[in-house]
């Protein structure tokens, strides 16, 4: 199996960033990726250019790195358009501290909001459903969450709820910008 077809997780992409001398979290760029796929037609080449610019390099270090970065884009695009509605932001898992998970969510939201503010005009925003407008208006508050949190059941539940809000907002934005993708309603076949 090619790396481009392999499931990418937060650590896979963070490792590619480290290989390029970057300690930054992939979460910010994943938020940007999600919003760009929802609001524009983001080509693979444009995505690679954006990642390389963020990493401060002209091009990926090697073919395997390029494949991973392209696999990240493909995976996100497929998850956003899948009828299962199973898109998940690329965030650290339970192997990371709750504080690191909260910081990554904050960074993801910053990237997502940045693209929407750069891309969406008032007329486009007015065309959104009231539910999507409200969800999008709530997102900037997530950029101000306290990330210096202790591990506790309450904090885990709160972080899960905030992450779910961001995920559902991303899915709503994608589905409203791409009518019919994903096909979430089953159309009954005509009866003969």
Indicate whether 186 belongs to any domain: no
Question: Angle, to 10 degrees, between the axis of helix 44-55 and the axis of helix 26-39?
Answer: 150
Domains identified in the chain, total number: 1
What is the pTM for the complete model shown? 0.89
Between helix 10-19 and helix 26-39 the angle, nearest 10°, is 110
The pLDDT tens digits for 165-186 are: 999 999 999 999 987 765 544 4
Burial 110-140 (b: 16+ CB within 10 A, else e): bbbbebbeeebeeeeeeebeeebeebbeebe
Q: What is the DSSP string of 119-165?
A: H--HHHHHHS-HHHHHHHHHHHHHTT--------HHHHHHHHHHHHH
Percentage of the chain beyond pLDDT 90 is 83
Answer whether residue 157 is part of any domain: yes
pLDDT digits (tens, 9 = 90+) for 5-58: 668 899 999 999 999 999 999 999 999 999 999 998 899 999 999 999 999 999
Confidence (pLDDT) at 190: 46
Q: Each residue of 66-77: pLDDT tens digit?
A: 999 999 999 999
Distance CA 95, CA 101 (A): 9
Q: Domain containing 142 — which CATH number?
A: 1.20.120.740
Domain residues for the domain of 153 are 3-177
């Amino acid at each position: 199996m090619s790396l481009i077809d392999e499931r990418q997780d937060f650590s896979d992409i963070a490792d590619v960033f480290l290989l390029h001398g970057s300690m930054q979290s992939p979460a910010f760029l994943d938020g940007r990726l999600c919003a760009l796929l929802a609001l524009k037609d983001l080509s693979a080449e444009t995505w690679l250019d954006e990642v390389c610019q963020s990493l401060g390099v002209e091009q990926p270090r090697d073919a395997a790195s390029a494949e991973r970065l392209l696999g990240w884009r493909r995976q996100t695009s497929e998850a956003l358009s899948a009828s299962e509605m199973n898109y998940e932001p690329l965030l650290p898992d339970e192997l990371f501290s709750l504080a690191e998970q909260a910081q990554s969510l904050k960074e993801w939201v910053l990237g997502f909001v940045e693209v929407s503010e750069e891309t969406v005009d008032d007329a486009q925003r007015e065309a959104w459903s009231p539910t999507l407008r409200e969800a999008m208006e709530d997102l900037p508050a997530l950029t101000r969450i306290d990330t210096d949190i202790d591990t506790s059941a309450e904090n885990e539940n709160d972080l899960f709820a905030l992450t779910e809000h961001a995920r559902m907002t991303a899915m709503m934005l994608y589905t409203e910008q791409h009518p019919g993708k994903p096909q979430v309603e089953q159309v009954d076949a005509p009866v003969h």
